[in-house]
Structure 1
Amino acid sequence: MSVLHFIIILPFIFALICPFLYKIKPRLHTGWFVIPVPIVIFGYFLGCMPELQKGEALTAEVPWIPSLGINITLYVDGLSLLFALLISGIGALVVLYSIFYLNKTKEALGQFYFYLLLFMGAMLGVVLSDNLIVLYGFWELTSISSFLLIAFWHQKKKSLYGALKSMLITVFGGLAMLSGFVLIYIMTDTFSIRTIVSNVDRIADHSLFVPAMLLVLLGAFTKSAQFPFHIWLPDAMEAPTPVSAYLHSATMVKAGLYLVARLSPVFAGEAGWFWLVSTSGILTLIYGSYRALKQTDLKSMLAFSTISQLGLIMSLLGLGSAAAIYSGTDEALFYVKATMAGIFHLINHAIFKGALFMVVGIIDHETGTRNIRKLGGLMSVMPVTFSIALIGTFSMAGLPPFNGFLSKEMFFTAVLNIMEMDVLHMQFIGIIFPIIAWIASIFTFIYSMLLLFRTFTGEKKFEQLAKKPHEAPLGMLLSPVVLASLAVVFGLFPNLLSYTLIAPAMAAIHPTMLLPGQQFDVAIHFWHGWTPEIFMTIGVVAMGTLFYMLHERLKVLNQPLFTTVSLNRSYDGGLKLLDKGAKGLTNRYMTGSNRHYLIYIFIFLIVSISITMSNSANIRFDFTEFAPMSVYEAVIIGALIVSVIAVPFARSRMMAIIWTGSAGYMVTLFFVIFRAPDLALTQMIVETVSVALFLLCFYHLPKLKKELVSLRFKLLNLIVSLGVGVTMTLLALSASSERSFESISDFFIKESYNMAGGKNIVNVILVDFRGFDTLLEITVLGIASYGIYALIRLKLEPEDTSVASGFWESGSKLPVNGARSNDVILKTIAKLVIFIILTFSLFLFFSGHNEPGGGFIGGLMTAAAFVLLAMAFGMKTIREVIPIDFRKVSAVGILVALLTGIGSFLYDVPFLSHTFGYQNLPLLGHSELATAMLFDLGVYLTVIGITMTIILTIGRDK
């Protein structure tokens, strides 16, 4: 395992152990154990920075599913480094902040940090994965972990509502994105992002190129809360403030931006990419900033502010994609500046928005409210918090000398360049971008001033607060102070980021625009003279100040435009409609009738197989190679037909069981004639045990009544049964007539002894060649037996927990002492026969590797002996004679089979590999020993445990 893989696994390791960390020192906050994780990760990626500045990249790969081209390949370039530093750096500050924000005695800290580390690891996986499928897996894990974090205070309905909304929308987008990845794979035959980028010229004209682009963008837009998929983000603010500061300002909502930036080299050459990304971003920018003006909850204001800022960055990435359209020309360099502005603002936004979320958390923590109408005059009692808020809001508003001012100026430059260069011949449409950017910046200025001055200045309203306001403790202030300091430092010295983070990230987004050894010119300055950008900024401040003063009087700024129609109402209505439709549809087919369920299944089987066979060119029926039918076969077929036809006409359940068993035994005779002793033994024992199970099950049913049923009822049954019979017959005939591949039977015949040391080919296949199938089968059977046990135990009322197990029609009476008439002969014979059956079952088990038998048959035979014991002496006796919990027997059997497979790892060979050899044993002499016998022992125990669990659960003595 490489260092990179260890770094990405580290959060998951600590996530598993952090719920137990409080036991080490109960008085110590769990966060102190967690905080070293993001610090170590941040330090590692800081150490990677010099290599990436030289144009080098780090990579590490671990095979996962090589046959499908899916490997856990981690790749660190400038773009992934930038996001990894944000994830770990902001993560460390958030953990520090949460130590003082969350009460260790009132909150479930183990769960909180488990979810937080799970999310951190998932985000690192997203930004470091080179494989699209692995990226998707981590992508969905971020949705799940964010759901858990948002719903952390699950006692609140709003928390659950916000968590569900965020997961539904982002998972919907994630599934669309997965479809896009599959289309990309179809076009390129690879999931590797680097390989796809290198082959982009070959797929640009493919018919699936545009559908793949649209599906990928759907995933990005839902994750990064682009209009109209933004509605989940404001409701997600019900999460604890550390979660909001981490997920919704610096990490999760940036995942969509990362995806757009990462796949820009693939899709940026398509004009549709430019229009969709830039237009969606600019609309989200102005919509979010306008909605932020109307909020009275500080967190909601920051939520819509985040939506707006995400739109700004998305629009810059879209505008920067024009560089690929005009690649090779001088114009391309102008569009690259939009990408540079987007990356710079992405960093700045994470810094000032993280600080502001923490400030709002402090206000809520120390005053008991986030309602801006109840706040005011806090500057006098919370001077440090006010200073942090001032830096954060001024930076968000784009005022000097803070970092937000620089990236906002670069944003203005980008939209003006787009207008002047007339990209894609937009003509008059191009002027819309700078106009919207300017208006949205005015709105941003207004809500920034509202957040700062309405909260910290003006009239004091301390009497309306739930708590007496005071300054937060030093520990809670430390993280926002660090972020506010970075806003100042990167504002005054922006070129600290130019060639360490911004230039390498730009090289990852526009790899074809640089020659080897080159890097982008990233020089960020405060003053460029009296440029249009400066005049736009002056206009923003002037108009913003004016409208800030008039905010109370202008309804258009502080009241909703629409009260009856909204996207949230549409979401709620759509969810209710889906729920109502699902209930209606479910009630139509979930009738509680087993007959109806079987009809649905059989009709689907008939239709699907018939359509497949009719549309297949390889289906044919060839009877030339069929052997002639012998007299014995004709007699057995006749008896089989008579048995099957007699079942629906039986007048009692006993006769129906007898006729069903007869049909099964006729099949056993077929296996005998066809020289398949293993199958004959299995079929015979299964049929015997099944008859007993039928008797036990039917005993619980009410007395059988032959009622008149409608002709329609009988006709439907007849049609379905004939349809299944004809369909399966045709399928079997076509399968035996047409073989696309050579039979593998010759391989098993030749190699069963050489490779597995067994002469019984059937058993060798079960325990060696196809041992994995057998392991899964016994596991499924074990789960089914536990399900039957739980179902019956839960279904029966306390007074009915013991049910009679006689083999007679319901309604007959059972003597109080449990004795049955005329069973002396049965008991006498059973004592001898049970011993013979058990001895024969052990013989079948031990000889199964070379002779007919094996663990499965031996287990069934042993279970049959126990069934006979129960029939002769009753369930109570079998529990006294064999005081074993058979559920544990099946569990031990599955464990033995699994451990046998795991044991192969000790010898560095594939799972479930077996070996064999010969030893001289006392009394037995020269004998073969095979590890497959251990696996067969697991099968033997599992079959016994499963069968007896079902028998003892269904049939119990009173």
Structure 2
Amino acid sequence: MSEFHTLHILVLAPFIMAIFVPFFYKWFRHIHTGWFVLVLPLLLFIYLLQFLPVGGSMETLELTVPWVPSLGINFTIYLDGLSLLFALLITGIGTLVVLYSIYYIANKKDEPLNNFYVYLLMFMGAMLGVVLSDNLIVIYVFWELTSLASSLLIAYWFHKEKSRYGAQKSMLITVTGGFAMLAGFSLLYVMADQTFSIRAIIDQADIIAQSPLFIPAMLLILLGAFTKSAQFPFHIWLPDAMEAPTPVSAYLHSATMVKAGIYLAARLTPVFAGAPEWFWLLTGFGLMTLIWGSISAVRQTDLKAILAFSTISQLGLIMSLLGIGSAAVHYDYAEVEMLYTTAILAAVFHLINHATFKGSLFMVVGIVDHETGTRDIRRLGGLMTIMPITFTISLIGVASMAGLPPFNGFLSKEMFFTGVVNATTLDIFNVQTFWYLLPVIAWVASVFTFVYCMIMFFRTFTGTYKPEKLEKKAHEAPMGMLISPIILASLVVIFGLFPNLLAYTIIEPTMQSILPNVLEEGERFYVNIYHWHGLNTELFMTAGVILFGMLVFLNLKRWQEAKFFLKERDPLNAVYDRGLDGLVTGSQRVTNLQMTGLLRDYFVFMMVFLVAMLGWTMIRYNAVVFDFVNVSEISPYLWIITFVLIAATISIPFIQHRITAIIAIGVIGFLLALLFVVFRAPDLALTQLLVETVLVVLLLLAFYHLPELRKAKFTAKFSLPNLIVSIGVGLVVTLTAFSAHAMNHEFGFDRISSYFVENSVPLAGGYNMVNVILVDFRGLDTLLEVLVLAIAALGVVTLIKHKMKGGEDV
């Protein structure tokens, strides 16, 4: 299919809407801009609901619009269970976040709401592009757009230094990971018979696994996934991103952007799942992130910081489940049933649950901050009776995050324990050597998860109310701000009491997308989620979590007296800060070494690099070839033209006046045009004449109005380095010309000029070959050159206006 489908428009709709936001903001200042924006994600969410499968029979859609077909890059929409789940999260949570932001961000005169909603829509469209695209390059484009939009949202209050710092950190880390991911995509393209289609790559998974590029591609792609989803040690950007407005945190950093890496790992599981490296990287980094995030959350005193590290921890949990569940490809599903696919089931279910309870908790924290003026738990307390609705929402969200029944977080946490316990029975990947580590790490991390949930809840809503420590008198939030968290908290309860509402509408189709090759034709995953499983290992682990968690919470002061818990800031931030400072210092040193302010030095640097690279290439590949047989006889007038050309060139360094030097340069250019005429290249001669004429006229006009140079008479001095560089350049260019001529005759290589001769008319419709090369074959290069000239012209105009207005000399 080659025409636009509604799903293509769905991806582009947020970008189109963003164009109109500034006009809404300008023309309807008395109406909050969010009301206009709210309509779009709501309509998109309602539209996507129609694709929910009935009875679990998920029919996939693949719709293609060519973009750059010559390079295999097409805007292909692929809708299956996994992409539908993420699209529903993006639009559904996006709707609630926009509604929440209308009441959270006041419609003040100096509040740039147009910027906020443009960035938010830009992010929404980019995320939809990531999860709905089938082409790896298209995914990469949208992937980097999410990083850009995220950094803009984090820096929304750009007058704050911390906001700018957090935006820069998120941009540097996620974009660097994105570059690595692009390199991994390129390797996949090479291994998969030059296709960027994920569907086609999955179909060739067995062939790709045999390639020596398999592991490098995996590592590069996971680097992109780990940086985006804040996996250890790349998690350090997420806590600093909490400087963004709370609606941004609730949207980007709990439900959407940070789950892009999770999506990528899930989407490419069919390609890499058979490798032990994939299993251990996802499981190992996921568990490390899980325990590091949970322990770090206990050290925090800011409510958003606690939620930031809890998000890191929960993302590690989901990533580890994807790693454990990837082992299912080595077993027959009919024999093991849910033994090794429980981890994938838990990952999918917890991904949904996390979006509901974490989104509601972020909004609760925003309400507390908005109505009290602080998020510091040392200043809070006793808000239960003052903010009863907020208290109830928080209770539901915290209980779910802590894994307490009957909420949905309890169910996915139990399945997480089941997944890690089942993983100890694996007889592949040397799992049994480290069998005890998986459940121990999972259990310890769950204990600290329980602890930070208790800290967040009890330190905020119980105890003594301290009005003297608050910036404003505490009161319940307006109903408009409560609607979104109430809806999310209601979903926490509903999905907890009736989890199988999602079993065959979302969860099972998503599992089919992640593990498409596990089932035989006609088989389906058995999904039945329920609370009571008897007195099993998982239940005892949960009881232990509650018991030890309460003991740790009651003795928290002793824990916090430990040296590690005294510092709220993650120690890995120091590594980032020192590394960034080192990059700046190092670049300054390199710049000071290179940027001397002398044009001569810049030419020397370029020429040395040119000579070194071309010389090494010619020697390395034995490309120096001579052919003095197939040469034309040189006419006497050619000797004369060449002699005059050399004389004019040598005279330039000794000329003292600018006008004379410009005339000498013009003579050289016109002599080159004469040579082109002699060699029967009238098109090239005409182009050279035009360029040279314009250049000489412009230089004469410019230098005519400049004052004469006030310096001593120039005296040419001998410089050995300059002589060596000059000889090297001349030698390499001469050898290149001789070799190119010889290879055409001795080795039968086609001249590159023959391609342009044959294709100028049929492909470009032009008879002037030089013009066709510049405008069509090198059109992008020429366009960029024109852009540079336009920028330079704008700079000149600005300087002239500055001077005419009486500005200082520049």
The TM-score, its normalising length taken from structure 1, stands at 0.79
Using the aligned pairs only, state the percent identity.
Answer: 55
Match of 2:713 among 683, 706, 714: 706
Q: Tell whether the 8 Å contact from 1:397 to 1:444 is kept in structure 2 after alignment.
A: yes
Identify which range, 151-160 or 194-203, moves more after superposition: 194-203
Change (3 A) 1:27 1:793: closer
State the one-letter code of the partner of 2:162: K
User: Which residues in structure 2 correspond to 1:378-389 (within 5 Å)?
Assistant: 378-389=383-394
Matching residue's letter, 2:41: P
Q: How does 1:500-899 map to 2 (within 5 A)?
A: 500-555=505-560, 560=565, 566-616=571-621, 620-650=625-655, 652-684=657-689, 686-698=691-703, 700=706, 701-703=708-710, 705-708=712-715, 711=718, 714-739=719-744, 742=750, 761-762=767-768, 766=771, 771=776, 773=778, 777=782, 780-781=785-786, 783-784=788-789, 787=792, 790-791=795-796, 794=799, 798=803
Describe the SS at the equivalent of 2:64: strand
Structure 2 equivalent of residue 107 of structure 1 = 111
Sort the Cα spacing of 1:558 and 1:388 in 2 relative to 1 into closer, same or farther, 3 A.
farther
Structure 1: distance between partners of 2:143 and 2:670: 55
**Helix, strand or coil: the match of 1:552?**
helix
Q: Structure 1 residue 56: deviation in Å?
A: 1.7
Distance 2:149 2:649 in 1: 55
- After TM superposition, the structure 1 stretch with the greater mean CA deviation from structure 2, 735-744 or 229-238, is 735-744
Whether the 8 Å contact between 2:420 and 2:439 is mirrored in structure 1 is: yes
Matches within 5 A, 1:280-359: 280-327=285-332, 330-331=335-336, 333-359=338-364
Cross-structure match for 1:59:
62
C-alpha distance in 2 between matches for 1:206 and 1:131:
21
Aligned residue for 1:64, secondary structure, equals strand
Moved more, 21-30 or 438-447: 21-30
Match of 1:146 among 122, 143, 150: 150
Q: Alignment partner for residue 369 of structure 1, among 354, 370, 374? A: 374
> Contact between 1:647 and 1:659, CA under 8 Å: does it hold in 2?
yes
Q: Distance in 1 between matches of 2:761 and 2:408?
A: 75
Matches of 2:692 and 2:525, distance apart in 1:
77
Unaligned runs of 5+ residues in structure 1 are: 803-953
The structure-2 alpha-carbon separation of the partners of 1:686 and 1:412, relative to structure 1 and needing over 3 Å to count, comes to: closer
Whether the aligned pair in 2 keeps the contact of 1:323 and 1:332 (CA below 8 Å) is no
Q: Deviations over 1:473-507 (max 9, x none)?
A: 11100000000000000000000011111101111
How far off is 1:702 after superposition? 0.8
Give 1 or 2 for the bigger CA radius of gyration: 1
Partner SS state of residue 380, structure 1? coil
Q: Deviations 1:219-275 (Å, cap 9, x if unpaired)?
A: 111111111111111110000000000011000111111111111111110011111
Q: Deviation of residue 801 (structure 1)?
A: 9.3
Cα distance in 1 for residues equivalent to 2:546 and 2:383: 25
Contact 2:774-2:782 at 8 Å conserved across structures: no
For residues 166 and 782 of structure 1, what CA distance do their matches in structure 2 show?
30
Amino acid at match of 1:358: M
Q: Residue type of the partner of 2:92?
A: G
Could you tell me which residue of structure 2 aligns to residue 132 of structure 1?
136
| Kept in 2: contact 1:52–1:78 (CA 8 A) | no
Partners of 1:630 and 1:117 lie apart in 2 by 69
CA contact (8 A) 1:271 1:325 kept: no
Matching residue of 2:271: 266
Q: 1:775 deviation in Å?
A: 8.5
Q: Which residue of 2 aligns with 1:949?
A: none
- Give the CA deviation at 1:544: 1.3
Deviations 1:639-662 (A, max 9, x none): 222322333344554554444343
Q: 1:618 to 1:727 in 2, by over 3 A?
A: closer
Decide whether the 8 Å contact of 1:552 with 1:558 is kept in 2.
no
Aligned position for 1:19: 22
**Contact kept? 2:401, 2:453, Cα under 8 Å:** yes
Residue 455 of structure 1 and its aligned partner are, at CA, apart by 0.6
Deviation at 1:55, TM superposition (A): 3.5
Report the CA distance between 1:735 and its aligned residue.
2.8
Distance 1:587-1:408 versus aligned 2 partners, 3 A rule? same
Query: Once the 2 structures are TM-superposed, how far is the Cα of residue 213 of structure 1 from its aligned partner?
Result: 0.9
SS at 1:49 equivalent: coil
Which position in structure 1 is the counterpart of 2:123? 119
In structure 2, distance between residues paired with 1:210 and 1:332:
30
The whole-number CA distance in structure 2 between the counterparts of 1:749 and 1:430 is: 69
Question: In the alignment, is the contact (CA less than 8 A) between 2:764 and 2:776 conserved in 1?
Answer: no
Q: Which moved more, 1:482-491 or 1:172-181?
A: 172-181
1:41: Cα distance to partner? 1.4
Kept in 2: contact 1:366–1:467 (CA 8 A):
yes
- 1:916-942 CA deviation, whole Å, 9 max, x = no partner? xxxxxxxxxxxxxxxxxxxxxxxxxxx
Secondary structure of the structure 2 residue equivalent to 1:35 = helix
Residues 38 and 91, structure 1, Cα contact 8 Å, conserved in 2: yes
- Say whether the 8 Å CA contact 1:196–1:266 is kept in structure 2: yes
Distance 1:13 1:800, change over 3 A: closer
Match of 1:44 among 43, 47, 59: 47
Quote the Cα distance in structure 1 between the aligned partners of 2:765 and 2:219.
56
Instruction: For 2:254 and 2:569, locate their aligned partners in 1 and report how far apart those are by CA, in whole Å.
Output: 30
Distance 1:265 1:562 in 2: 42
Provide the rounded CA distance (Å) in 2 between the counterparts of 1:472 and 1:248.
23
Give a deviation string over 1:11-55, Cα, whole Å, max 9, x none: 111011112112443211111111111112111221001269313
CA distance in 2, matches of 1:747, 1:340: 57
Q: Kindly tell me the number of residue pairs found equivalent between the two proteins.
A: 798
Measured in 2, the distance between the counterparts of 1:424 and 1:351 equals: 35
Distance 2:634 2:221 in 1: 60
Structure 1 equivalent of residue 160 of structure 2: 156
Check whether the contact 1:69–1:191 (CA below 8 A) recurs between aligned residues. yes
Instruction: State TM-score, norm by structure 2.
Output: 0.93
Shift of 1:771: 4.3
CA distance in 1, matches of 2:344, 2:762: 64
Q: Is the 8 A contact 1:326 1:332 kept in 2?
A: no
CA contact (8 A) 1:653 1:704 kept: no
Secondary structure of the 1:623 match is coil
| Separation in 2, partners of 1:544, 1:757 | 77
- What is residue 434 of structure 1 aligned with on the other side? 439
Partner Cα separation in structure 2 for residue 179 and residue 268 of structure 1:
20
Which one has more relative contact order, counting CA pairs under 8 Å at least 6 apart? Answer: 2
Displacement of 1:800 after TM fit? 12
Counterparts of residues 918-937 of structure 1 (less than 5 Å): none
Amino acid at match of 1:86: L
Q: 1:549, CA displacement in angstroms?
A: 1.4
User: Letter of the aligned partner of 2:119 in structure 1?
Assistant: Y
- Give the residue type in structure 1 aligned to 2:721: L
Q: Which residue of 2 aligns with 1:165?
A: 169
Task: Call closer, same or farther: CA 1:559–1:455 in 2, change over 3 Å.
Answer: farther
Cα contact 1:766–1:774 (8 A) shared by 2: no
